[in-house]
Amino acid sequence: MSIKIENLVHIYMAGGPFEKKALDNINLEIKDGEFVTLIGHTGSGKSTLIQHLNGLLKPTSGRIVVDGVDITEKNVKLTEIRKKIGLVFQYPEYQLFEETIEKDIQFGPRNLGLSEEEINKRVKKAMSMVGLDYEEYKDKSPFELSGGQKRRVAIAGVVAMEPKVLILDEPTAGLDPKGRDEILAQVKQLHKEYNMTTIIVSHSMEDVAKIADRVIVLNKGKAVLDGVPRDI
């Protein structure tokens, strides 16, 4: 799936005393199958930008066109968009709400109306891709996990939907170097296997050099650099 961001502006609390322009006229085109890393300092607008890509926020102005459809239009069915554009939040707790890990990961694929057999197949595959042993983890509560494990569950839940676009907000945050390398290798593998358009948000160039085809740097709500990792 291709994504075109046109003149996107996002102002939080517009018109109020604490008005904050988080995105300042962003123009970007992400091609089908591309692997992009979005980097920038804290507060540069990364999370704001990606939340626009699956319709979680409404632009102050500008539009986002996904495979030719303007998803900022009033009549667009966001539930349909979200089946195709999977977003793993910066804080994975937001995505974990069932009493067991298995149920949490089943949630997305179940919304796609798949058979139980297909759902279970996908859950097992997604868990193995993020490095969680199915038998060991399936009945555990997501709340008893470490931060890194919760992140893996949240990623598995989105991956099990087999979205056309996979967006991960700081998937390596809070992980040790080994965990970080594992997650990045798994994301790379997912990209290869499903050829999904992939966007990883990160603070760190280190992650970028390893895996992305393209790096976009945000600074104070503007896209200030865009290129292949070795040139940046």
Chain residues that interact with ligand ATP, rule: CB under 6 A: 12-13, 20, 22, 40, 42-48, 90, 203
Q: How far apart are CA 90 and CA 97, in angstroms?
A: 16
Closest distance between Mg ion and the C-beta of residue 95, in Å? 15
Closest distance between ligand ATP and the C-beta of residue 21, in Å? 8
Which residue, 50 or 130, is less far from ligand ATP as judged by CB? Answer: 50
Look up residue 150 and give its two tokens.
């919760």
Per partner kind, with CB cut-offs from 5 to 8 A, the member of Mg ion, ligand ATP, none near residue 44 is: ligand ATP
Which residue, 45 or 163, is less far from ligand ATP as judged by CB? Answer: 45
* Interaction site with Mg ion (CB under 5 A): 46-47, 90
Which residue, 41 or 77, is less far from ligand ATP as judged by CB? Answer: 41
Closest distance between ligand ATP and the C-beta of residue 209, in Å? 19
- Biggest CA-to-CA distance, the chain: 53
Which residue, 60 or 90, is less far from ligand ATP as judged by CB? Answer: 90
Q: How far apart are CA 109 and CA 121, in angstroms?
A: 10
Q: How far apart are CA 168 and CA 54, in angstroms?
A: 12
Which among 102, 59, 81, 60 is positioned nearest to 3, based on CA atoms? 81
Per partner kind, with CB cut-offs from 5 to 8 A, the member of ligand ATP, Mg ion, none near residue 72 is: none
Look up residue 43 and give its two tokens.
């507060």
Which residue, 100 or 219, is less far from ligand ATP as judged by CB? Answer: 219
Per partner kind, with CB cut-offs from 5 to 8 A, the member of ligand ATP, Mg ion, none near residue 2 is: none
Q: DSSP assignment, residue 33?
A: T
* Element holding 107 (H helix, E strand): helix 101-111
Closest distance between ligand ATP and the C-beta of residue 3, in Å? 17
Q: How far apart are CA 226 and CA 232, in angstroms?
A: 8
Q: Which long-range contacts (CB under 8 A, 24 or more apart) does 89-96 make?
A: 89/154, 89/169, 90/47, 90/169, 90/170, 90/173, 90/201, 92/147, 92/150, 92/151, 92/153, 92/154, 92/155, 93/150, 95/154, 95/157, 95/158, 96/142, 96/143, 96/150, 96/153, 96/154
Which residue, 112 or 224, is less far from ligand ATP as judged by CB? Answer: 224
Cβ-closest position to Mg ion:
47
Closest distance between ligand ATP and the C-beta of residue 226, in Å? 16
Closest distance between ligand ATP and the C-beta of residue 218, in Å? 6
Per partner kind, with CB cut-offs from 5 to 8 A, the member of ligand ATP, Mg ion, none near residue 22 is: ligand ATP
